[in-house]
Structure 1
Amino acid sequence: MSPSIKDNFGSEYYNSLPLFGDCLGELLAFFGVKRAYGVGGDFVANLINSLEGHIEVLPSSNEMHAGFSACAQAELNPLGMCLTTYTVGSLPCVTAAALARTEGLPVVFISGAPGEAEVNSHALHHSVHPHTAWHTDLDAALNSFRALGVRAERLQGQRHSGQPNIAAEQCLELLTYAYLNRQPVFIEIPRDLINQPTQSLSLPLSLEQISQNQPLSLSGAELIAQDIESKLKLANKPLVFLGEKLRLNRPLLSKIISLCHQHSLPYATSWFGKGMLDESEPLCLGSYNGAFSELEGKHYIESQADYILELGTAIFPSDTNNAFSSQTHAIDTHSHKTMLRGTARWEKDIEAVIDLLVQKLPLNEGAESTLDPDEKVTPPLESVMLGYHNLAETINQAQRQLAKPYIFVPEVGSSLFASFELETHGSDIGRSYLANPWYAAMGTCLPYARAIADQLAESNSLQPVLVMIGDGGFNFQANELINLQKQGANVTILYMRNNIFHLGKAGDAPIYSCNDQGFNPRLLIQAYGGDGHLCETTEQLTHCLIETAHKGGVHLIEVPTSVEAGHQSETTKKLNTYIGFRNGDPQATERWNELCGHF
């Protein structure tokens, strides 16, 4: 007869063992998780009960939205967390997991699972199991996440009566992997493990120790810094270009910005990095993306910069972020630059070079900016009909009159491409713009706004959130409004209405129709406890934005929007021209060649 844990290791050790559910709650809190988003269910019920007292377990309107909220959470915190039941709950999260994998977001997807005692020849109702099958498949969700390249494991219970299970240690290893590698993980937890004792853990004193203890195995930082130093000294018009990797590494980003300010180095970022910089800073040139950019610093980037220090950009360029592979991205083709993209964990290699540059470059407190002086004068907007063509300008005007600037959350579509012309400022949560740049996944902005509102509430911030969305994207996710209502969030939804999926529209098939003329979103928002508004001119929208931000709560502003080319944003017009060019349209090809004549 095998001994029990108590017989094997003694009563004192046995009595010191924590229950796994409590240990998981403490682990999540150690990694900075304060809330999880999810949908309940039978296999996850024990886990929900055990996490109470450790973190908030918040409802979402469906599992995919829970995953999207966790993605936004991971943009702002060490980890994001999504909690669902077995297969019928976890499989709908695969789209969010693909987003997290693509954008390098440390999201922990946790699913309840059948207890180990339940696994036998019986087919469980939740399993992916046709009635004609000769065997049960309990690994469908694990295999689905693994197919995306996501690390996916099921925790193990006790394997010997004299040894406690290793589930807590497994979980610590998976959470550490997600945190250090900025990648999602999927964890299935058999429901009978929750109230079983598990091996106790010895955690570091702080979360920072985990990342700080990662050694830099690469050498040569001194030589790279020396080369950069010599090139910067010779440059008359230098530029520091900051890639999207730095948005998840605020300490390093702060070091680089400080270095730029000390030495009057102009800096810009990519589309994917928008919102991590305060664009009101004199040295900030905004977010750049080749021919598709509409920003004041574009001339300096494309025509004046004689040396570029490129930091933290993607190893493999993305078409969205590199001017859609149009060969018009001046950073990509610049002949005199240094690329330090960051191949080490947590960009330790970039940090090593920046630390040396801080020491090497002589402090030049009286340095003058290499930018040409350009006093910004903002004339009042003439009151004209609203459209995507003047949307960003109108919002920028309104934002300048607010006590706190917006945090922008644009939805995929024309709203996203108009949003790159918005002015982003400082934020109480470290980011002033959160979007889903993986533009094949529509339906993220309201779940994102949900996570942002929770983050703002945690810091007692009244900073307003502005969601920009078309009617097609809104109908994907309107059911998430119930949670914004329960939060009492300070969110204004700018609802651009044209009743079709317009971006990329290439015909008149019914599939492009996304709305009905009889639908009244202003009545819908009232049903959710919010206020509805209608704005048709720039003046009306300016006044309405100021009023709603001041009043607080949930608001929806309906803006009737023309699909005529003259009412589209410059970025969208260029994108549609480029799509036509790539599809072989003769007129679009002619317009595109004219547009890119100087590249």
Structure 2
Amino acid sequence: MTSISQNLGQAYSEQLPNLGQSLCDILCFFGLKRVYGVGGDFVANLINALDGPLQVLPSSNEMHAGFSACAQAELTGLGACLTTYTVGSLPCVSAAALARTEGLPVIFMSGAPGENEIQGHALHHMVHPGSGWHTDLNAALNAFKALGIRAERLQGQRHQGQPNVAAARFFELVCEAVQSRQPVYIEVPRDLVMQPTQSLRLPLNIDELNAMTRLNLAGAGLIADDICSRLVKAKHPLVYLGERLRMNSALLERIVHFCQRLGLPYATSWFAKGMVDESHPLCLGAYNGVFSQCRGQAYIEENADYVLEFGTAIYDSDTNNAFASGTHAIDTHPNKTLLKGTARWELDLQAVVDALERANLPVRNLALVNQNKDLHEAITPDTSSSLGYANLAQTINQFQRAAGKDFILVPEVGNALFAAFALDARSSDVGRSFLANPWYAAMGTSLPYARAIADELNAKGSPQPILLITGDGGFNFQCNELINLQKQNANLIILYMRNNLFHLGKCGDAPIYACNDLRFDVSKLIAAYGGKYHLCQSVDRLYEALAMGVQGGLHLIEVPTSTEPEQQSPIAIKLNTYISAKNGNPEALISWNKLCGNLPPTDAQ
């Protein structure tokens, strides 16, 4: 049968790269520097091909590799995870669901059986019962597809005279992930890695690639004219920044500069927290209706007479919109321009911003400087008082201001996450100062997230400290990832809020809520990983421990916390009331309606 050289010529045949080389070239073209994963038999050839041009870094398990890749995508615009066939890739489904939910471009790569190995019998890695009548090679592909994720297995040569098109297909899939900001799942048969594939002529850079999707939006100038008219008339305008801008740093920077140049106050949604420096006088913080604890809440709810809203989600999330409580003042504002950004790469928003930047608008200073100062003075905690969720955010905020140290904040799902929304997210050397996973079904992300942040900080030569805040439930989900933080000498402070319970949403006393044991000695655990342990039960002790932590290295600060309502953060109290009300608790329902201003009529009325 005709070979490639016989069919297409010796010169063409000799310049063909193998698939492994092409995959490296493609991933490097998109700026990827690191891949997180776990080794295995079917992925060994792929690991050898990628190692060198890329850092192929270990994770403690496949799910954590996926979570680290999600954080990597948040920070750099693309993340990648590498696992073996089915037994490795299926544990990544939770991380893939997170990436899909949060709109993160993550490449989930899996080794797969070679095309020459498929003989109709069951392979050890297959999801296949011993009593089955047929084999199923596509269990992982179908699992990822069930999440609505693009999932494909690369194919090899189909004619001996033609090289395979696997590299070209891989490039198309990565383009799809980056440009649509969605994860993809790709299986690579292990016998293809060293086989020749069609050579590709990659674009010169990402801008050239993006130029292929340029949008000429008719009417952007008319939209901008209407916005300008409303801005001029407004006495108390507000620019509201949504989470779709997290992955478009260039556009976000332009909008923030526009606000600061004209003296316009701006706030973010909860899901967008940390993408701007909240210490700026014009920044009002992250707003979320009755659940808010931001310094600009009064301005937003009582003063704002025009809202310019950029890049919020097309389909509203209950978490991000005050849990559908009807208390989100921006959702129902009567004078608002809503610019969701429906085009790829928010090209429609960019067209409107282009026109706004050319407009002749008045400059005014609407910064809440005095109000910010008064607020900070009012919430400075008593240094001798006991420490708990109720005053945790105040204490950390005061430390950041007094010590001049800006943390990158990484809260874990649970009480820690909702207490953290009251933290000041300040400046960051990696562009984001608050990285959280608000999607409840993926508890256990904070240590893998910290891992990716530490790698990015190290690449930039930055010693900026990471402050991870977790309850003992979330911590026990993932503490095996500490081994990799130890290996990378990460500058990480773990604030370990211990109550030995899964407390957020707790609606009873079943044993399922008991996530820890009183005999668990976390000091010995952190010592095993080369970290330093601190026990803090008062505000002044936490100041001391944080001051030692910012000097560098791995630190764990244990804070025994009470489950009494007065010791909980205000946001968590409201959220627990909401959860109990939704579960039908009559007392909680009354409290929730009162909280939202929806008091039912009494008999006297």
**Deviation, structure 1 residue 405:** 0.6
Report what 2:569 is aligned to.
569
- Could you report, residue by residue, the CA deviation over 1:49-107 in whole angstroms, capped at 9, with x for unpaired residues? 01122100000000000000000000011210000000000000000000000000000
Q: Is the 8 A contact 1:236 1:370 kept in 2?
A: no
Normalized against structure 1, the TM-score is what? 0.98
Q: Tell me how far apart the structure 2 counterparts of residues 164 and 576 of structure 1 sit (CA, whole Å).
A: 60
Q: Tell me how far apart the structure 1 counterparts of residues 468 and 392 of structure 2 sit (CA, whole Å).
A: 13
Normalized against structure 2, the TM-score is what? 0.97
Report what 2:510 is aligned to.
509
Report what 2:494 is aligned to.
493
Q: How many residues align?
A: 595
Q: Is the 8 A contact 1:249 1:346 kept in 2?
A: yes
> Structure 2 matches for 1:197-236, cutoff 5 A?
197-216=196-215, 218-236=217-235
Report what 1:330 is aligned to.
329
2:35 pairs with 1:36: yes
Q: Tell me how far apart the structure 2 counterparts of residues 343 and 457 of structure 1 sit (CA, whole Å).
A: 35
Q: Which amino acid aligns with 2:570?
A: E
**Deviation, structure 1 residue 217:** 5.0
> Structure 2 matches for 1:294-313, cutoff 5 A?
294-313=293-312
**Deviation, structure 1 residue 392:** 0.5
**Deviation, structure 1 residue 582:** 2.5
> Structure 2 matches for 1:252-263, cutoff 5 A?
252-263=251-262
Q: For 1:251, what is the secondary structure of its paired residue?
A: helix
Q: For 2:576, what is the secondary structure of its paired residue?
A: helix
- Could you report, residue by residue, the CA deviation over 1:150-198 in whole angstroms, capped at 9, with x for unpaired residues? 0000001001011000011000000000000000000000000000011
Q: Tell me how far apart the structure 1 counterparts of residues 404 and 458 of structure 2 sit (CA, whole Å).
A: 17
Q: Is the 8 A contact 1:401 1:546 kept in 2?
A: no
**Deviation, structure 1 residue 356:** 0.2
Q: Is the 8 A contact 1:494 1:558 kept in 2?
A: yes
| CA gap 1:512/1:375 in 2 versus in 1, 3 angstroms | closer
4+ long deviations beyond 6 Å: none
| CA gap 1:23/1:413 in 2 versus in 1, 3 angstroms | same
2:186 pairs with 1:187: yes
Q: Is the 8 A contact 2:232 2:362 kept in 1?
A: no
Q: For 1:332, what is the secondary structure of its paired residue?
A: coil
Report what 2:79 is aligned to.
80
**Deviation, structure 1 residue 403:** 4.8
Report what 1:425 is aligned to.
426
Report what 1:533 is aligned to.
534
Q: Tell me how far apart the structure 1 counterparts of residues 50 and 25 of structure 2 sit (CA, whole Å).
A: 9
Q: Tell me how far apart the structure 1 counterparts of residues 335 and 570 of structure 2 sit (CA, whole Å).
A: 30
Structure 1, unpaired ranges of 5+: none
Q: Tell me how far apart the structure 2 counterparts of residues 411 and 492 of structure 1 sit (CA, whole Å).
A: 13
**Deviation, structure 1 residue 132:** 1.4
Report what 1:461 is aligned to.
462
Q: Tell me how far apart the structure 2 counterparts of residues 166 and 368 of structure 1 sit (CA, whole Å).
A: 58
- Could you report, residue by residue, the CA deviation over 1:437-457 in whole angstroms, capped at 9, with x for unpaired residues? 112221000000000000000
**Deviation, structure 1 residue 381:** 3.1
- Could you report, residue by residue, the CA deviation over 1:418-465 in whole angstroms, capped at 9, with x for unpaired residues? 000101111100000100011222100000000000000000000000
- Could you report, residue by residue, the CA deviation over 1:224-254 in whole angstroms, capped at 9, with x for unpaired residues? 1111111111111000000000011000000
Structure 2, unpaired ranges of 5+: 600-605
- Could you report, residue by residue, the CA deviation over 1:304-362 in whole angstroms, capped at 9, with x for unpaired residues? 10000011000100010000111110010111101000000011111100110110133
Report what 2:371 is aligned to.
374
Q: Which amino acid aligns with 1:41?
A: G
Q: For 2:440, what is the secondary structure of its paired residue?
A: coil
Q: Tell me how far apart the structure 1 counterparts of residues 367 and 472 of structure 2 sit (CA, whole Å).
A: 44
**Deviation, structure 1 residue 371:** 4.4
Q: For 1:134, what is the secondary structure of its paired residue?
A: coil
Q: For 1:374, what is the secondary structure of its paired residue?
A: helix
Q: Tell me how far apart the structure 1 counterparts of residues 386 and 188 of structure 2 sit (CA, whole Å).
A: 55
- Could you report, residue by residue, the CA deviation over 1:527-551 in whole angstroms, capped at 9, with x for unpaired residues? 011111100001100111011112x
Q: Is the 8 A contact 2:288 2:322 kept in 1?
A: yes
Q: Tell me how far apart the structure 1 counterparts of residues 393 and 211 of structure 2 sit (CA, whole Å).
A: 41
Q: Tell me how far apart the structure 2 counterparts of residues 77 and 575 of structure 1 sit (CA, whole Å).
A: 32
**Deviation, structure 1 residue 206:** 0.7
> Structure 2 matches for 1:96-495, cutoff 5 A?
96-216=95-215, 218-362=217-361, 364=363, 367-369=364-366, 371=368, 373-374=370-371, 376=373, 378-379=376-377, 381-382=381-382, 383-495=384-496
Report what 1:545 is aligned to.
546
Q: For 2:239, what is the secondary structure of its paired residue?
A: strand
- Percentage of pairs with the same residue: 63
Q: Is the 8 A contact 1:106 1:185 kept in 2?
A: yes
- Could you report, residue by residue, the CA deviation over 1:516-570 in whole angstroms, capped at 9, with x for unpaired residues? 11001111000011111100001100111011112x1111100000000000000
Report what 2:23 is aligned to.
24
Q: For 2:14, what is the secondary structure of its paired residue?
A: helix
Q: Tell me how far apart the structure 2 counterparts of residues 584 and 50 of structure 1 sit (CA, whole Å).
A: 56
2:589 pairs with 1:589: yes
Q: For 1:245, what is the secondary structure of its paired residue?
A: helix
Q: Is the 8 A contact 2:282 2:367 kept in 1?
A: no
Q: Is the 8 A contact 2:581 2:592 kept in 1?
A: yes
Q: Is the 8 A contact 1:399 1:546 kept in 2?
A: no
Q: Which amino acid aligns with 1:267?
A: Y
Q: Tell me how far apart the structure 1 counterparts of residues 132 and 581 of structure 2 sit (CA, whole Å).
A: 50
Q: For 1:466, what is the secondary structure of its paired residue?
A: strand
